Amino acid sequence: MYKTQQNETAVIIEMSERFTFSDHTVFRKLIDELSSLNSLTRIFDLSGIEFVDSAGLGMLLLARDEAEKNHATIVLRGAKGQVKRMLEVARFDTLFQMED
């Protein structure tokens, strides 16, 4: 589902396959882990995600809320296909920094 790598300024979360309600428990654990990292940019690399549902979008909002508590920034990177369309329809460009 995901793997992380960290450098001096950011943590990159590479996600793959599907991002749906069934990922909630694992994703929640990831959010808790990220919360222990103060003031980092958190880049969610979505290029490996083939499908996202409304629960997946909700989990990204949860990640955003937790990041704001820690004065961190969330970047959504590399969304394509159905995932990109879902982010556009949900107007996530107004809530997140987006990168191609």
Q: Give the model confidence (pLDDT) of 3-50 as tens digits.
A: 999 988 899 999 999 999 999 999 999 999 998 886 689 999 999 999
Question: Cα(54)–Cα(72) distance, rounded to whole angstroms?
Answer: 24
Q: Give the model confidence (pLDDT) of 44-77 as tens digits.
A: 999 999 999 999 999 999 999 999 998 999 999 9
Residue holding tokens 């809530």? 95
Would the pTM count as exceeding 0.85? Answer: yes
Domains of the chain: 2-99 (3.30.750.24)
Question: Cα(46)–Cα(94) distance, rounded to whole angstroms?
Answer: 17
User: Quick one: DSSP state of residue 20?
Assistant: S
